[in-house]
A and B are shown apart, each in its own frame.
Chain A
Amino acid sequence: MKSESKRPAPPQWAGKLIERITAPHLREEVLGDLDELFFTRAARLGVVRARLWYLLDCLLLIHPRLWHHKQEPSSYRITDHQPFFLHPDMLKNYLKIALRNLWKSRGYAAINVAGLSLAFCIGVFLFLIAYQQLTYDSFHQDGDRIFKTYVFSNDPDKPVQDGSMPLPFAPALKAEYPELQVTRVMTGRKSLVEANGKYYDKLINYTDPDFLKVFSFTLLSGVRETALTELSSVIISQDMSRDLFGTADPIGKSLRIGNAADGRDFIITGILADAPDNSSVGYDALVRIENSPNYKSDKDNWDNDSHAVFLKLPPHVDEATFEGRLRSFARKYFPKPLAELSKRGAKADAQGDVFAVRLQPLSDVHFNREIAGNKGTPIAVVYVLLGMATFILLIACINFINLSIARSFKRAREVGVRKALGALKSSLFVQIWSESALICCLGFGVGALLAYFLLPAFNAQFGAKLKLAMVLQPGFIALILCVLALVTLLAGGYPARQMARFNTIQVLKGKVTTERPGVLRNALIVMQFTMSCLLTCCTVIAFQQVKHLRQSPLGFDKEQVISIPVGSQVNGRQVLGLLRQRLAGDPSVLSITGSNVNLGKGKDRVTSRGVVGFTYKGRSVSTDWLLVDYDYLKTLRIKPVAGRDFERQYAADSTNAVLITQSMAKMMGEPNPVGQMLRDDNDTTGTRSQIIGVIPDFQLYSVGYEAKPITMHISHTEPINYIFVRVTQSSLAAAMENLKKEWNQVAPQSEFIGSFLNENVDAWYQDEEQLSQVLSLASGVAIVLSAIGLFAIAMLMIEQRTKEIGIRKVMGASIPGIAMLLSRDFIKLVVIALCIAVPVAWWGMQIWLDNYPHRIVISPWIFVIVGMAAILIAMATVSFQTVKAALMNPVKSLKSE
């Protein structure tokens, strides 16, 4: 209206906003009051200030009272005639109705219970694994005061942290800081143990008397203070005591450790409880470190790192302070590495150290693979497991919510009638919610049973050592109850609240069922499929990476080779000689050799590594120093690229000849290394080795370890720990049997634990393999759960649209047309989910793959295939219902009501 345009007007938008949020019965008066106030203020204070006041009033009006609907008139309240909604009689009634309802819709309840129990079971497994990992080493008293020492060197190439220490380190530390409790822990090999004339293979660890003060493993018998004071004392584990002595008391008895030649007698002074599965320090028996094989030669050698050192700080000293004090210690005792680093131009790191002795908290020991030399679990894996457990539970919850919401429309009429009969919102809420709670509890109960029965199978499949006893801790039970409560409240509460709020009149008119766009339901389905597609993509990529790792060229021929760990009972060199003699005439044996390092992970599970570093013509060289025997190249089918293999006719081959790999030649900077002499620049008097040949690089250790150049030599004195035998292709199993027979002749006191090299190599990737198996199990469950959810939703959706379908058919719609129409809605959701999941998966897996030096390139086909599979699964699930609906006789569907 133009005539009124000169009149001042309040800000339109604010008025509109208030109008929108105000409850209908208040709208008229509030807006009228606002306008009236504006005009009186405009007359008194001016338009500008009136406008400001108007805005302020609008802002201050915002309050729940503004949009709350009208209360019941006070003269008549339904509550006056209602029992309290939590009255015992009412609870009994809720339960009765809930049971009846669940029985009436058994299919729906079964789907829900199945989904929830499956998710709960997997969730428990994954949580248990994560829990076991996270509580590693947490059982020690004062664990926060226990630390492992490591040396940090800020190498210009790459900062290095190394947790293995030289023998004189701990005594020096103890001398400088007497208030500390320091113990060395040198993990020995499985050694031969003799007691009462019987022989056993046991893990002997070398340590200090402070071991029992630093760690709180329970000493079952013996005296904690004095158990290890004697050099000839040994503490054995409960398990070993049972093996060796049965039920007899072993204290004071003697046993012999080592083989006949260099064995020593020890007196048992204590029995230690077995180390828990989640302990970084394991043992069968503990003896003083002075008994370790190279103690005499290395006890003052600061260059030979051989063991871990743990220390316990006094209660009032904190880690940072003590690390500060260790600076002077490092300068005093490690002058050589310090000088070397400075020479190479190393700079101080953020904490101002070029080289430092630092402390690693015990809780971190299991997770830091660098300090521990590639042992332990990366913490990321634990988080991945926890994340997956949460994902799966979430998917099951979403199913539950979606099904409840979808079903609520079916039950709208029931709710309407109840309301008309005077049911209150609160009692309706509790009644509907109690059904959900019942299903949840049932699901959890069945899940717990499933977990109980499947745990042994799970442990066997994934090599886990989970015990259900771990679940039965107060903390864990509390967690489970919390999850249960959360799931029940979230998944059961929301639909119940929605239903309790239905408008009685509209419901009874039959309006509610056809309305409602179900935005929330669609969002939840999208979320569900996003998560399962994400998991699947990641699993497929992880699988491909593992496969890639296994198929990466080894550099040697792993087929038809049997590897035999010699063990500690017998002399490997002797056995090798005897086997060579006896098998010389056997046509199925092609060649035999020995080495001190196994290829792959054999049945003895031992990995050892000897790395030598020196300077060659001004270049610093670091190489694996590998002991081999004649025919090593022949047995492994490695062809020299230059020079020759070791040969028996040259006497010098066994004393000062070496074979090097191509990367070694590169590191030395020699284009023609054959014939060159290999030696340390600083050590002019020492032995020199002549390079007699160059071979291509091959994989001596798994890809998890840093690959180094390899230098091979032959010796007549160093022990041979592994024997490799190449056999002909025709009779692999027979060859193994034959070898076993020969072995029992040659080394009767030692068990034959030979295995094929290709199995050994597979065992290298066991961790990755198991992780990808767990991943695929989880993603499989996620997909199944999502499909179950979709199936049920489709079922309920189509039930609601029965009439529509009938009419469409009557009007001439074709069956495929109807099936397409019904499926389209769901397929759309899956496609949206894919659009979200694919970039996230791509990005996440790029980051993961960057950890590996040999990594695959993510192929877009993975996503295409996963996407197609997801759509196909969705289609198959839905079409089961849609086709059924489309085939239905319209006469029947239109006749009812």
Chain B
Amino acid sequence: MVFAIQKSRIITCDLFPPMKGTQLGEFEELVLLTIARLYNDAYSAAVVEELSRRLERPMSLGAVHRTMQRLEEKGLVQSRFGQATAERGGRRKRLYTVTTAGEQTLQQVRQIRDELWAGIPKEAFGLA
């Protein structure tokens, strides 16, 4: 091979070491959950529909699509092309599924929430 690089001589320098655990934004979490819920039919338009129905507020395709791209870059979901349909003008949809990493992250988030809930003293809400 032309570029037989001797590994030992290369000095790597990480400017941005990976963070411990993956940070998940609130909206990212919602989208990730929706993808998990839609399971086999999770693509941008479907997530938009589902989320705007549940949250009872309109949702822009751009925001959702970008979030899904970001999730994929983080390795929390993976995508593949699905079927083309007539109402899409014969275009294929990109279907997303949650990866194991994604599932773990979701579990972590949930665990933190649960712990926080469990730690709330009864008086905190009871008295209010």
Contact = CB atoms under 8 A, between A and B. Distances in A.
A83 interface: yes
A349 interface: no
A15 B52 CA distance: 22
Contact of A65 (B13, B48, B66): B66
Interface residues on A, range: 20 to 34
Contact of A81 (B5, B49, B65, B92): B5
- The A interface is mostly helix, strand or loop, or mixed, namely helix
Contact of B49 (A40, A65, A74): A40
Contact of B73 (A56, A71, A422): A71
B117 to A, nearest CB: 34
Interface string A432-443: 000000000000
Given A29-B91, A29-B93, A36 B85 contact: yes
B60 A32 contact: no
A83 B12 CA distance: 5
A262 interface: no
A60 B62 contact: yes
A421 B89 contact: no
Interface in B46-69: 48-49, 58, 60-63, 65-66, 69
A249 interface: no
A37 B60 CA distance: 10
A28 B62 contact: no
B3 interface: yes
A189 B55 CA distance: 91
A443 B51 CA distance: 61
Nearest to A79: B12
Contacts, number: 89
Given A29-B93, A63-B66, A81-B10, A36 B88 contact: yes
B105 to A, nearest CB: 16
Interface in B90-108: 91-94
Contacts of B81: 29
A889 interface: no
A34 interface: yes
A32 B88 contact: yes
B75 A36 contact: no
Interface string B1-23: 01101010011110100000000
Nearest to B66: A65
A736 B35 CA distance: 105
A36 B87 contact: yes
A34 B61 contact: yes
A82 B10 contact: yes
Given A83-B11, A84-B15, A37 B48 contact: yes
Given A29-B43, A61-B61, A35 B91 contact: yes
Given A63-B62, A74-B75, A32 B92 contact: yes
Contacts of A29: 43-44, 81, 91-94
Nearest to A421: B3
A62 interface: yes
Contacts of A61: 60-62, 65
B88 A80 contact: no
Interface string A4-42: 000000000000000000000000111111111101100
A516 interface: no
Chain A CB within 10 A, most for which of B5, B63, B94:
B94
A65 B69 contact: yes
A343 interface: no
A28 B92 contact: yes
Interface string A59-83: 0111101100001001000001111
B45 interface: yes
Contacts of B49: 37, 40
Contacts of A87: 11, 13
A57 interface: yes
A224 to B, nearest CB: 61
A64 B124 CA distance: 45
Contacts of A53: 58
Contacts of B11: 83-84, 87
Given A40-B49, A84-B13, A28 B91 contact: yes
B87 A421 contact: no
A94 to B, nearest CB: 16
Given A60-B63, A65-B66, A83-B13, A32 B89 contact: yes
Contacts of B88: 32-33, 35-36
14 contacts: A29-B93, A33-B88, A35-B87, A35-B89, A36-B87, A36-B88, A40-B45, A57-B61, A60-B61, A62-B62, A65-B66, A83-B13, A421-B2, A422-B3
Interface of A: 28-37, 39-40, 53, 56-57, 60-63, 65-66, 71, 74, 80-84, 87, 421-422
Interface of B: 2-3, 5, 7, 10-13, 15, 43-45, 48-49, 58, 60-63, 65-66, 69, 73, 75, 81, 84-85, 87-89, 91-94
Given A33-B48, A35-B87, 17 more contacts: A28-B92, A29-B43, A29-B92, A33-B43, A33-B93, A36-B45, A36-B85, A36-B93, A37-B61, A39-B87, A57-B60, A61-B60, A63-B62, A63-B66, A83-B13, A87-B13, A422-B3
**3 closest Cβ contacts across the A-B interface?**
A32-B91, A32-B88, A84-B13
